[in-house]
Structure 1
Amino acid sequence: MEIFKKAETVRLRSYHDKYLLADDDEDSVNQDRDGRCMNARWKVEILEEANVIRLKSCFGKYLTASNMPLYLGMTGKKVTQTLPRRLDSSTEWEPVREGVQVRLKTRYGQYLRANGGLPPWRNSVTHDVPHRSTTQDWVLWDIDILEIRKKKPPQPILPPPPPPPEVLMATIDDHAEHNSPKEFSLKSPRFSKTEVEDRVSSPGKADGRLIYYRVGDEDGNVDEGAKEELFCFKGLGLEELKQKLEEETGLSDVSICSKNPLNGKLYPLRLHLPPNNSKMHVVLIPSSSKEPKTVTEKREDLFTINLRDLKYLRKRRMYGFEALTFNIHGGYLEAIVRGHRAGLLTTADYNNLCQCENLDDIKMHLSATKYGSYLQNEPSPLHTTTIVEKCTLKLVDDYKHMLCQATEPMSTFLEYIRYGHMIDNVVLIVTGTLHERDVQELIEKCHPLGMFDSIATLAVAQNMRELYRLVLVDTPLAPYFSECLTSEDLDDMNIEIMRNTLYKAYLEDFYKFCQKLGGATAEIMSDLLAFEADRRAVNITINSIGTELTREDRKKLYSNFGLLYPYGHEELAICEDIDQVRGVMEKYPPYQAIFSKMSYGESQMLDKAFYEEEVRRLCLAFEQQFHYAVFFAYMRLREQEIRNLMWISECVAQNQKSRIHDSVVYMF
């Protein structure tokens, strides 16, 4: 009850991380993730004598526990907005403290519950008593205070009753004798310090996040042993955060920086704060002292680059000039891809998908996501391939939209992303032809991002030279075939060697291109591509154990960069079993955690462990701005999401739900 006594207006956030909203029909209520709208604001009315509250929506109606069931034959009564002529107990809610959360209990012992699961229950709100342990937390609500309740002014002290007329006249005469000429003063009422602060304080902002900060020196050096200070920030913008930090530290004209968790370097925050009120760890860099400037010097600063900041950027190997010019050509697309990233499935979505009984249930759940428009016209019964194809179509549409809007060098960067799919398609067609599969059937299984005009003619090639001369010479893959040009016939072993040789050349070329771009793109992409090169080196080693490949043959397939290059490659090339591979990889701290999850002698869970580490690194790419790596990260995250959906769909279709969690990689 204490939290509501301080609040004038609140937001209620449910266990599902959704906000209680008053529907626009002014009758019903629901849940939604967007808590910034007026519909999420509830005015608090306190009934002190009964220890209960009323919540009034933006439409001036009260949150009401009705007696009507939400759905016939099912538990849970409907919660509505009403404005009865006479307020009764149905509009009263008793707050019950539960740690940092509260339950809202009706006068009849039921609780306000935010429902989850599949439609039609999802996003609905009822009042009920939860009987199952899985739904007990659905009645817990986080309270966000949007406006603080103003303290009531003290009751004025009534003046004493006026004296009788004769006494009053005597007093006036006496006063005139001793105080001539007349003196009088006008004094403003006095307030205590607390009352003054209450009068000038503005209402709290809608959002709040924890800010951890430390202060560095002018060179960007930070004492790692220093304790991080902490405060709660309720603003929305970077400029507000800067002002708040200056108030907290007493410094002026500071730069707010974020540390890259991969390389430990500092990068300035320029645009906006991370979404979802996530906590932030920042470092404050104070500016050097300056002499006061004349008016002319201040005017010149409006047309010149701040050389001190530019020197600092160069010294810390930050963004350089791209931080100043990136948004001219890349700002719109970076905003687009960050919006796409917000549409990726969350852990709650995966938990709901894992409860589906058939593919139609999966379709129903996905209808509320970005995939809804792609699946809505698909008839029943559904097939797993249909779900995967439609989800892949969403990925392709996003990619094509970004590619059409991109200019150089971003367009070339986006083209590099699809080269890996082109290699997979070439190998698929050649392998299928070797096993006498129908070419048209194989083309239908190719990834849409890896298609090119002459792909259907791949079936005519008998060896590497013919494959290059007749088909691939006019494709972007042509430069990568220089190491594959042999006259040997295409068989399963040679095709696999061709795949890995092409991937090696592709990754090295992509790596060099990113290095030429420089800045944050080079740093982040170097880490992501190095991880991909190391993963392929491990897979090549494990898959070639017990084959005819020699030590030198293995080394030729390893990429010439990455954390394992060159000494790790030397050791992997001589490994003869999975435990020897494990011994090599445990020497490298980033990969030690991956192999520690496996027992000796097994490698079944290695792919999932690598995928989980890749997802972690891809998510970190979104923590910085002004770089192209977010496009690569989004495409890879969306592809991982499609792999998750394919696995879940297969398990549901084959009635193997107990195995669903074996291969699902959670992202958020």
Structure 2
Amino acid sequence: MELFQDGQHVRLRSRGRGTYLHADDDGLGVSLRRLHASMNVAWAVHLYQGHYLLLQSAAYGGYLAATAAPARRGHRGRRVEQRNYYHSEVDLMLWQAVQMENLFLNSINGGNLRANRRYRPWNNGVSVDHIDDINNISTMMHWVVEVIPAREIIPRLPRPSPLPDLLLRPRLILYVWPNIHGGLITHGTFVFGGRSVFRLRSELARRLGDLAIMDLEVADLVMCLPTYDGRLIPLVVDLPRSGETLHIVVVIVGSPAYMALQYADVDA
């Protein structure tokens, strides 16, 4: 576990494939990609009860989870997905890091995180599978941890595309704005169309400004995703394609919550 420090961001590179564990932009799938400088390959480390890991996508806030469903066709073992931060089955998201000659990530429900299809590169999924022979462990279960340094300021939000994404259904946004004492300034819901995080911030700032609670500029607002243990992950990429309900915690620049935020420097 010394390879993983609570609160840090890491990349996980498959030793067998040379590619990185990637949170897919549907907000659900997990795959292997060659992308390096991408928030989709950054995972926030949370230590759970001192013995287990939670790996939360720095892009969409979903946790790496080993499900009971069979892996998709052409892949071995059980399916691995991103699971919502409010999902009730936390045991699916718990991992143990085992360091022998190589690093293995064991699911608490059995099996090891593995890459698939060394000789069929179009099969780029990951899954959880059992070790058949302890003396002959597949290199597809070997992982390399690359620590991502932190950056001091929030990354620029991607500018919106001038073309609307007509194929996406509108999603429900649930937002809360807590005060510094843990109470609630305000909360609400609204329906939002498209994936642009830039437009979502503008819309949220407009709605909060209409409440006349305070003089709020768009640049003063940081949208965050919650975690199981009360930490916050800044939302700095466009929204996932799944269209699932998004839970937003509003943080204001300069507040204690803002000062506690951590950003992965994926370009380093």
Name the TM-score, length of structure 2 as normaliser.
Answer: 0.51
Counterpart position of 1:70: 71
Classify 1:115/1:45 alpha carbon distance in 2 versus 1 (closer, same or farther; 3 Å).
same
Counterpart position of 2:14: 14
DSSP-derived class of the 2:138 partner: helix
Please list, as runs of the form range in 1=range in 2, the aligned pairs for 1:206-225 lying within 5 A after superposition.
206=266
1:139, distance to aligned residue in structure 2 (A): 1.0
DSSP-derived class of the 1:89 partner: helix
Please list, as runs of the form range in 1=range in 2, the aligned pairs for 1:201-600 lying within 5 A after superposition.
206=266
Aligned residues of 1:145 and 1:206 also touching (Cα < 8 A): no
Classify 1:130/1:204 alpha carbon distance in 2 versus 1 (closer, same or farther; 3 Å).
same
| Mapped partners of 1:94, 1:121: distance in 2 | 28
Counterpart position of 2:124: 123
Classify 1:205/1:61 alpha carbon distance in 2 versus 1 (closer, same or farther; 3 Å).
closer
1:74, distance to aligned residue in structure 2 (A): 6.7
Classify 1:206/1:59 alpha carbon distance in 2 versus 1 (closer, same or farther; 3 Å).
closer
| Mapped partners of 2:115, 2:75: distance in 1 | 15
1:71, distance to aligned residue in structure 2 (A): 3.3
| Mapped partners of 2:62, 2:108: distance in 1 | 19
Structure 2: which amino acid aligns with 1:89?
D
1:93, distance to aligned residue in structure 2 (A): 0.5
Aligned residues of 1:115 and 1:121 also touching (Cα < 8 A): no
| Mapped partners of 2:91, 2:149: distance in 1 | 26
1:38, distance to aligned residue in structure 2 (A): 1.0
DSSP-derived class of the 2:4 partner: helix
1:68, distance to aligned residue in structure 2 (A): 0.8
Deviations 1:190-213 (A, max 9, x none): xxxxxxxxx9xx988547xxxxxx
Aligned residues of 1:65 and 1:77 also touching (Cα < 8 A): yes
Aligned residues of 1:7 and 1:147 also touching (Cα < 8 A): no
Counterpart position of 2:40: 39
Counterpart position of 1:27: 28
Please list, as runs of the form range in 1=range in 2, the aligned pairs for 1:172-191 lying within 5 A after superposition.
none
Check if 1:95 corresponds to 2:58.
Answer: no
DSSP-derived class of the 2:3 partner: helix
Deviations 1:270-302 (A, max 9, x none): xxxxxxxxxxxxxxxxxxxxxxxxxxxxxxxxx
Structure 2: which amino acid aligns with 1:9?
H
Aligned residues of 1:11 and 1:20 also touching (Cα < 8 A): yes
Deviations 1:399-447 (A, max 9, x none): xxxxxxxxxxxxxxxxxxxxxxxxxxxxxxxxxxxxxxxxxxxxxxxxx
| Mapped partners of 2:136, 2:37: distance in 1 | 29
Classify 1:75/1:3 alpha carbon distance in 2 versus 1 (closer, same or farther; 3 Å).
closer
Check if 1:105 corresponds to 2:87.
Answer: no
Structure 1: which amino acid aligns with 2:145?
I
1:117, distance to aligned residue in structure 2 (A): 3.0
1:143, distance to aligned residue in structure 2 (A): 0.5
Aligned residues of 2:76 and 2:128 also touching (Cα < 8 A): no
Counterpart position of 1:79: 80
Structure 2: which amino acid aligns with 1:12?
L
Aligned residues of 2:45 and 2:55 also touching (Cα < 8 A): yes
Counterpart position of 1:48: 49
Classify 1:34/1:75 alpha carbon distance in 2 versus 1 (closer, same or farther; 3 Å).
closer
1:43, distance to aligned residue in structure 2 (A): 0.8
DSSP-derived class of the 1:90 partner: helix
| Mapped partners of 1:104, 1:143: distance in 2 | 11
| Mapped partners of 1:7, 1:97: distance in 2 | 20
Structure 1: which amino acid aligns with 2:143?
W
| Mapped partners of 1:33, 1:85: distance in 2 | 29
| Mapped partners of 2:88, 2:6: distance in 1 | 26
Classify 1:33/1:5 alpha carbon distance in 2 versus 1 (closer, same or farther; 3 Å).
same
Which structure shows the higher helix fraction? 1
Deviations 1:300-358 (A, max 9, x none): xxxxxxxxxxxxxxxxxxxxxxxxxxxxxxxxxxxxxxxxxxxxxxxxxxxxxxxxxxx
Which structure shows the higher strand fraction? 2
Unaligned runs of 5+ in 2: 151-258
| Mapped partners of 2:78, 2:266: distance in 1 | 30
| Mapped partners of 1:19, 1:121: distance in 2 | 14
| Mapped partners of 1:127, 1:146: distance in 2 | 25
Counterpart position of 1:461: none
| Mapped partners of 2:61, 2:264: distance in 1 | 21
Aligned residues of 2:6 and 2:46 also touching (Cα < 8 A): no
Aligned residues of 2:7 and 2:46 also touching (Cα < 8 A): no
| Mapped partners of 1:140, 1:29: distance in 2 | 17
Deviations 1:200-257 (A, max 9, x none): xx988547xxxxxxxxxxxxxxxxxxxxxxxxxxx5xxxxxxxxxxxxxxxxxxxxxx
Classify 1:131/1:73 alpha carbon distance in 2 versus 1 (closer, same or farther; 3 Å).
same
Structure 2: which amino acid aligns with 1:4?
F
Counterpart position of 2:3: 3
Counterpart position of 1:136: 138
1:102, distance to aligned residue in structure 2 (A): 1.8
1:142, distance to aligned residue in structure 2 (A): 0.6
Classify 1:24/1:134 alpha carbon distance in 2 versus 1 (closer, same or farther; 3 Å).
farther
Classify 1:80/1:12 alpha carbon distance in 2 versus 1 (closer, same or farther; 3 Å).
same
Classify 1:23/1:73 alpha carbon distance in 2 versus 1 (closer, same or farther; 3 Å).
closer
Higher relative contact order (CA 8 A, sep 6+): 2
Deviations 1:116-137 (A, max 9, x none): 2344873110000133677611
| Mapped partners of 1:143, 1:42: distance in 2 | 11
Structure 2: which amino acid aligns with 1:127?
V
Unaligned runs of 5+ in 1: 149-198, 208-234, 236-668
- Which protein has the larger Cα radius of gyration, Structure 1 or Structure 2? 1
1:48, distance to aligned residue in structure 2 (A): 3.3
Aligned residues of 1:115 and 1:124 also touching (Cα < 8 A): yes
Give RMSD over aligned pairs: 2.9
1:73, distance to aligned residue in structure 2 (A): 9.3
1:4, distance to aligned residue in structure 2 (A): 1.0
Aligned residues of 1:145 and 1:204 also touching (Cα < 8 A): no
Aligned residues of 2:105 and 2:113 also touching (Cα < 8 A): yes
DSSP-derived class of the 2:53 partner: strand
